[in-house]
Amino acid sequence: MKTAITEMFGIEHPIIQGGMHYVGFAEMAAAVSNAGGLGIITGLTQKTPQDLANEIAKCRDMTDKPFGVNVTFLPTVNAPDYPAIIRAIIEGGVKVVETAGNNPAAVLPHLKDAGIKVIHKCTSVRHSLKAQEIGCDAVSVDGFECGGHPGEDDIPNMILLPRAADELDIPFVASGGMADGRSLVAALAMGADGMNMGTRFIATKEAPVHENVKAAIVAASELDTRLVMRPLRNTERVMTNAAVEKLLEKERELGSDLKFEDIVDEVAGVYPRIMTEGDMDAGAWSCGMVAGLIDDVPTCKELIDRIMAEADAIISERLVGFQKRAAVNA
Ligand SMILES: Cc1cc2nc3c(=O)[nH]c(=O)nc-3n(C[C@H](O)[C@H](O)[C@H](O)COP(=O)(O)O)c2cc1C
């Protein structure tokens, strides 16, 4: 399959692994890229820009295929050293950057000058148009279903993707709720040139996370995610657990008086305990509704090959079959 996205990024299949905190290490990115997709290292998971440079070098040793780095612009008080992060990416010879969070305009000229393609992940048509206007090469359109931060508009992909297709001139991928060949064909039908997956890639053999995380995703249904931090306008879709239910209780009690300090125990610094140590009740961790469609732990290659085979069969058998049936009955 060739699309604007496979051509732009020089990859075999139109499938991207979105940046994921404490998941997007070199092992994850290399496994996805070796399977013909675009793997992405999560920049901010690395403690220093030098650690990121080392992780990029490690990934390069593990794959000769293109891979990217995610740079998330957080509304934090102690901002990471973004200029040094961007330098590590450029000096590491990375050719694709996935930006997310706030507007990436400040770093864009440096990335473009270095010949790096930028795909900005955002959750609305207006932010997608802004990304196009400031010179991003592509957008990852993240619907309300997505694991992580779906924004505050709550527009699911069935509406968001065709709306993006109507407005955008640059290519985009569908993100949020994507799991299999059906997702890919549906995304393509709605105007996307590929798909981005987060949660699905955590439940793979190579994902460098504790087995408990993979088991939790396989066990979960589509009913098992919750939206937290909505009162702070920093909504995050997470897997439910005891800590999350406690957090929601605090949100109900405090209402609009809720402050970040009130929920710090449930959200701050919990990722290493969950992803590395497998302490599944340590706090809130991002997970998509798509967990309901995930019931195995394949290798990245098995997963991507299966998605592409299923997509081909849907297009050439199921969809073409409808046209053939119509022709026979005509
Ligand atoms: C555990 C986890 C951590 C994530 N961390 C980040 C992150 O640090 N930066 C980012 O831009 N997106 C992050 N995301 C969002 C993903 O890149 C992707 O957009 C999202 O998972 C797509 O929805 P899906 O999970 O339904 O596939 C994270 C998602 C998950 C599940």
pLDDT in tens, 273-287: 999 999 999 999 999
Please state the domain extents for the chain: 4-207, 212-289
In the chain, the amino acid numbered 127 is: H
Q: How far apart are CA 46 and CA 20, in angstroms?
A: 12
Residue indicated by tokens 């209780």: 249
Nearest atom in ligand 1 to the alpha carbon of residue 121 is: 11
Q: How far apart are CA 140 and CA 97, in angstroms?
A: 12
- From ligand 1's centre to the CA of 141, what distance in Å? 12
| Percentage above 70 pLDDT, the chain | 100
DSSP 193: S
Residue 70's pLDDT band (cuts 50, 70, 90):
very high
In the chain, the amino acid numbered 161 is: L
Ligand 1: which residue has its CA nearest to atom 10?
19
Answer whether residue 78 shows pLDDT above 90: no
According to CATH, the superfamily of the domain at 4-207 is Aldolase class I (3.20.20.70)
Nearest to 17 by CA among 1, 44, 35, 2: 35
Residue 74's pLDDT band (cuts 50, 70, 90):
confident
Helix orientation angle between 49-62 and 26-34, rounded to the nearest 10 degrees: 30
Query: Which strands, in side-by-side order, build the sheet including 195-197?
Result: 15-17, 195-197, 172-175, 138-142, 117-122, 96-101, 67-73, 39-42
Torsion over CA: 120, 174, 202, 63 (sign): negative
Q: Which residues line ligand 1 (CB under 6 A)?
A: 18-21, 23, 42, 70, 72, 100, 121, 142, 145-148, 175-178, 196-200, 285-288, 290
Ligand 1: which residue has its CA nearest to atom 7?
20
Phi-psi region of 207 (alpha: psi -120 to 50; beta: other; left: phi over 0): beta
Residue 329's pLDDT band (cuts 50, 70, 90):
confident
Neighbour-count burial for 127-145, b at 16+ CB within 10 Å, e otherwise: bbbbbbeeebbbbbbbbbb
- From ligand 1's centre to the CA of 234, what distance in Å? 14
Ligand 1: which residue has its CA nearest to atom 5?
20
Alpha helices in the chain (DSSP H): 4-9, 26-34, 49-62, 82-91, 108-113, 125-134, 157-167, 181-189, 199-202, 211-219, 242-254, 264-267, 271, 300-313, 320-329
Average pLDDT, the chain: 97
49: Cβ–Cβ under 8 A, 6 or more apart, which residues?
81, 84, 85, 87, 88
Question: Ligand 1 pocket: which of 38, 124, 286, 289 to mutate (most atoms <8 Å of CB)?
Answer: 286
Token pair for 305: 């090959």
Model pLDDT, residue 157: 98
Question: Ligand 1 pocket: which of 20, 76, 118 to mutate (most atoms <8 Å of CB)?
Answer: 20
SS3 (DSSP) at 185 = helix
Model pLDDT, residue 224: 98
Ligand 1: which residue has its CA nearest to atom 21?
198
Residue indicated by tokens 């010179």: 135
Answer whether residue 77 shows pLDDT above 80: no
- From ligand 1's centre to the CA of 20, what distance in Å? 5
Nearest to 235 by CA among 218, 247, 222: 247
Question: Ligand 1 pocket: which of 146, 228, 237 to mutate (most atoms <8 Å of CB)?
Answer: 146
